[in-house]
């Protein structure tokens, strides 16, 4: 008899490591490693969360009907085609589990979100990275990567960690040229931050094609990352598949309540958007002024190039209680990703960089 072995592919996964930010020695660390909001979440979402404290002995509504109705109304969608998840991470997992397996290929963009190759490997499929140009997804390279074995193409738009995005025209051309059997997953986790006119979140493509999925999350502009809440807009056939495979109560009572309240708190959303926009411009200008290469970003984070010293610089910042994200796992070891913080946080970051650059 031999000892139990996991299914093929699983041991090839390097576990996902989140951003640092916990420390005993520093009173108020500046946590800019996980694209979280420095403002906390919407007070209305927090109230809604507290209000359901007396309901925790009850199972949640497994269909998340009220939350889906609120989303359908907000974004003009068919509620029957929305599926909610424990973070959009869960939906990525469910999509890949449902449509790919051993011998299949899952395409993602070279510096795309790490969860894509992780999930492909988890089901024994081959993750295929399509090269980027200047840290931006390239639709031609993505199309060239397609083979008869391709089942899914996962694309974060805008992408984390690069901050770049594909225009609505590029997305449309990509879908038109992709074979029908390939599902295109547009992960629009940062959509609410993007104000560029040539951007769209992917909803229109879901309405127009039977093989496009759009994913969204409450972790980013709504800042409920700790609650775990995401959602997707699906073709009905695929929504039906995901509803069969998901666990019956995958979205908790507090997540549903806080999600509905967060969606309605327009003032808070706008405040977060402005904070990200202004902070991004500030960091970009100041760091460029120090001679650093800052990649253009439309998210609430920026990617900065430091060359071979990147890791030393990250550790030097950490010593000062400033946490930024190392990018080795994304094959960008010479870069650091910095989440936009409060004006005060951003100022601190810039001042530390001034000291570091002087040395
Ligand atoms: C943060 C993020 C998500 C959201 O993850 P959740 O599981 O909803 O917290 C999804 N995709 C990308 C690209 C992200 O950066």
Among 11-15, 137-141, 154-158, 203-207, the minimum mean pLDDT is found in 11-15
pLDDT at 257: 98
Q: Ligand 1 center to residue 33 CA distance, Å?
A: 14
- Cβ of 87 less than 6 Å from ligand 1: yes
Determine contact, residues 228/259, Cβ cutoff 8 Å: no
Closest C-alpha to 19, from 161, 154, 130: 161
Which residue would you say has higher pLDDT here, 33 or 88? 88
| Pairing between β-strand 105-109 and β-strand 150-156 as defined by DSSP bridges | parallel
pLDDT of residue 58: 95
Q: Verify whether ligand 1 is closer than 6 Å to residue 230 (CB atom).
A: yes
Residue 23's pLDDT band (cuts 50, 70, 90): low
Which pLDDT does position 25 carry in this prediction? 60
Q: Which whole number is the average pLDDT over 29-48?
A: 89
Position 19 scores a pLDDT of 73
Average pLDDT, the chain: 94
Residue 156 has pLDDT above 90, yes or no: yes
The CB of 339 under 6 Å from ligand 1? The reply is no
Buried b (16+ CB within 10 A) or exposed e, 216-232: bbbbbbbbbbebbbbbb
pLDDT band at residue 116 using 50, 70 and 90 as cut-offs? very high
User: Which of ligand 1's atoms lies nearest the C-alpha of 90?
Assistant: 7
CA distance 191 to 156: 10
Percent of the chain at pLDDT > 70 equals: 97
The model's pTM: 0.95
When pLDDT is averaged across residues 324-340 and rounded to a whole number, the result is 94
Q: Inform me whether the pLDDT recorded for 24 exceeds 70.
A: no
The tokens of 265 are what? Answer: 């708190």
pLDDT for 56-99, tens place per residue? 999 999 999 999 999 999 999 999 999 999 999 999 999 999 99
Going from the C-alpha of 127 to that of each of 112, 122, 141, the distances in angstroms are: 11, 10, 15
Q: Which of 14-28, 35-49, 235-249 has the lowest mean pLDDT?
A: 14-28
308 membership: H or E segment, kind and range: none
Residue 216 to residue 237: CA distance in whole angstroms = 19
Query: CB under 8 Å to 135, separation ≥6 — which residues?
Result: 111, 162, 164, 295, 303, 332
In angstroms, what is the span from residue 160 Cα to ligand 1's centroid?
Answer: 9
Q: What pLDDT, in 10s, does the model give residues 41-56?
A: 999 999 999 999 999 9
What is the pLDDT at residue 119? 97
Report which DSSP code applies to 212. E
Average pLDDT over residues 159-174: 97
Partnered with residue 153 across adjacent β-strands are: 107, 184
Nearest residue (by CA) to ligand 1, atom 2, is 189
Over range 88-113, report the average pLDDT. 97
Ligand 1 center to residue 192 CA distance, Å? 13
Question: What pLDDT does 28 receive?
Answer: 74
Q: How far is the CA of 291 from the centre of ligand 1 (A)?
A: 31
What average pLDDT does range 279-289 have in this prediction? 96
Nearest ligand 1 atom, CA 156: 13
Contact assessment for residue 332 and residue 161, using Cβ atoms and an 8 Å cutoff? yes
Identify the band that residue 271 occupies on the pLDDT scale cut at 50, 70 and 90. Answer: very high
Q: For residue 115, report the distance from its CA to the centre of ligand 1, in Å.
A: 9
- pLDDT at position 21 is 64
Domains of the chain are: 18-41+267-358 (3.90.1150.10), 53-264 (3.40.640.10)
Q: Is 272 in the pocket of ligand 1 (CB under 6 A)?
A: no
Q: What is the mean pLDDT of residues 106-135?
A: 96
Flag whether pLDDT at 27 surpasses 70.
Answer: no
CA-CA-CA-CA torsion sign (120, 141, 211, 199): positive
Residue 300 scores a pLDDT above 80? yes
Q: How confident is the model at residue 1 (pLDDT cuts 50, 70, 90)?
A: confident
Ligand 1 centroid to Cα of residue 89, in Å, is 6
The reply to whether ligand 1 has any atom less than 6 angstroms from the CB of 300 is: no
């Amino acid at each position: 008899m031999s000892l139990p072995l996991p299914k093929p592919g699983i041991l090839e996964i390097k576990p996902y490591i989140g951003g640092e930010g916990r420390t005993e020695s520093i009173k108020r660390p500046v946590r800019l490693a996980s694209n979280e909001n420095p403002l906390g979440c919407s007070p209305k979402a927090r109230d809604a969360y507290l209000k359901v404290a007396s309901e925790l002995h009850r199972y949640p509504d497994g269909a998340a009907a009220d939350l889906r109705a609120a989303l359908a109304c907000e974004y003009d969608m068919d509620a029957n085609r929305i599926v909610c998840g424990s973070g959009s991470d869960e939906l990525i997992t469910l999509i890949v589990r449902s449509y790919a397996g051993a011998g299949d290929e899952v395409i993602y963009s070279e510096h795309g979100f790490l969860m894509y190759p992780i999930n492909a490997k988890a089901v024994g499929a081959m993750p295929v990275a399509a090269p980027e140009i200047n840290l931006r997804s390239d639709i031609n390279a993505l199309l060239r990567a397609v083979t008869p074995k391709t089942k899914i193409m996962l694309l974060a738009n805008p992408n984390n960690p690069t901050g770049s995005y594909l225009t609505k025209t590029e997305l449309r051309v990509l879908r038109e040229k992709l074979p029908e059997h390939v599902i295109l997953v547009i992960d629009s986790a940062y959509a609410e931050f993007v104000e560029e006119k040539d951007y769209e979140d992917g909803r229109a493509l879901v309405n127009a094609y039977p093989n496009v999925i759009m994913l969204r999350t409450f972790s980013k502009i709504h800042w409920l990352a700790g609650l775990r809440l995401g959602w997707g807009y699906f073709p009905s056939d695929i929504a039906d598949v995901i509803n069969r495979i998901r666990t019956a109560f995958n979205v908790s009572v507090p997540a549903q309540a806080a999600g509905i309240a967060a969606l309605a708190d327009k003032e808070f959303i706008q405040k977060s958007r402005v904070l990200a926009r202004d902070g991004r411009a500030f960091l970009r200008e100041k760091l460029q002024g120090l001679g650093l290469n800052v990649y253009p970003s439309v998210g609430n984070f920026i990617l900065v190039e430091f060359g071979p010293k990147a890791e030393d610089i990250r550790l030097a910042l950490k010593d000062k209680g400033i946490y930024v994200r190392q990018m080795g796992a994304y094959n960008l070891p010479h870069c650091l990703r910095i989440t936009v913080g409060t004006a005060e946080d951003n100022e601190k970051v810039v001042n530390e960089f001034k000291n570091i650059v002087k040395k």
